[in-house]
Chain A
Amino acid sequence: MSFQLLPAHFVMLGALLFGIGTAGAIIRRNALTLLMSIELMLNAANLVFIAYAKQYGDPAGHVIAFFVMAIAAAEAAVGLAIIIGVFRTRQTIEVDELDALRDET
């Protein structure tokens, strides 16, 4: 058996997943898709936490993963409420059409 499954492979996968989330947050202009990209990034961090927990045999990483999940839940609740509020007043959720604070000059 020449190939063995190491925690390092999971860290690499986590970096890739974080990159996908970052790309989504950069190239998409839909507020809901933006929030989902942020969820992807939080999950990539979770994966790396769990991989390091395996690397060092320490369950503390699992505790942190739960805290990340709680923060993701709070972020989703507040973010979605803001999106609904914006949609009620502006009838759009495309973030580049929300330019009330843009300098007119």
Chain B
Amino acid sequence: MDIAVFVIAAAGLLVTAGGTIMARTPLKGALSLIVALVFLSVLFVLLDASFVAAMQVLVYAGAILVLFVFVIMLLNLQPGTQRPIYFSISKVLGGLAALYFSARIAEGAFRFGVPSGVGKPVVATVKVVGELMLSQYLFAFEAIGVLLLVAIVGPVVLGLKRLQ
């Protein structure tokens, strides 16, 4: 049962992720990315991370990607202004380099990081994650708060009318 869910979700994730980067228009890419993030939250549930999965759907697919779609609609790119996808030697080489890169990451993970074994069950309720976030990772939590404040102020400054 788990394996069937994993195979379906993994295949859907890879297909929609590929669709994101190969989409002709950014809007199709954004919609494909939303589906990919939902598939990813299915994988999170398989890994005992139901809270992270819920946040993935709410925050990522619900907020961040909607921001993307808003901006795409706001820019209102005309079909004539967008160039078609073209292929060149440098792009093919770049894609091959990316695949080689990911293969090396997987190889390194297997050589150094992932011991064999089925893993252990994780108790990651909201209570456990919240306590950890506000005790051991308190400094990172506060730093993220400052970062988010900057991310609020920055777009406001960038959006002011005196850009010339």
Contacts and interface: CB of A to CB of B under 8 A. Distances in A.
Interface string A26-67: 111110110111011001001110111111111110111111
A55 B98 contact: no
Contacts of A70: 144, 147-148
B21 A77 contact: no
Given A15-B103, A77-B151, A88-B163, A30 B110 contact: no
Contact of B52 (A30, A65, A71): A65
Contact of B59 (A10, A50, A69, A75): A69
B105 interface: yes
Interface size bracket, B side: 35 or more
Contact of A23 (B21, B43, B110, B115): B21
Contact of A77 (B67, B75, B117): B67
A59 B129 contact: yes
B71 A10 contact: no
Contacts of A78: 151, 154-155, 158
Nearest to B107: A15
Interface in B100-121: 101-103, 105-106, 109-110, 113-121
A54 B21 contact: no
A9 to B, nearest CB: 7
Given A19-B102, A43-B40, A74 B132 contact: no
B71 A80 contact: yes
Nearest to B105: A15
A73 B123 contact: no
B14 interface: yes
Given A15-B109, A62-B51, A63-B137, A27 B91 contact: yes
Contacts of A16: 14, 102, 106
A9 B137 CA distance: 28
Given A26-B95, A85-B159, 4 more contacts: A5-B46, A54-B122, A55-B120, A92-B81
19 contacts: A7-B114, A8-B116, A11-B114, A15-B105, A23-B95, A23-B99, A24-B21, A27-B21, A32-B30, A43-B36, A47-B40, A62-B129, A66-B52, A70-B144, A70-B147, A77-B154, A77-B155, A89-B164, A94-B83
Interface of A: 3-13, 15-24, 26-30, 32-33, 35-37, 39-40, 43, 46-48, 50-60, 62-67, 69-78, 80-85, 87-89, 91-94
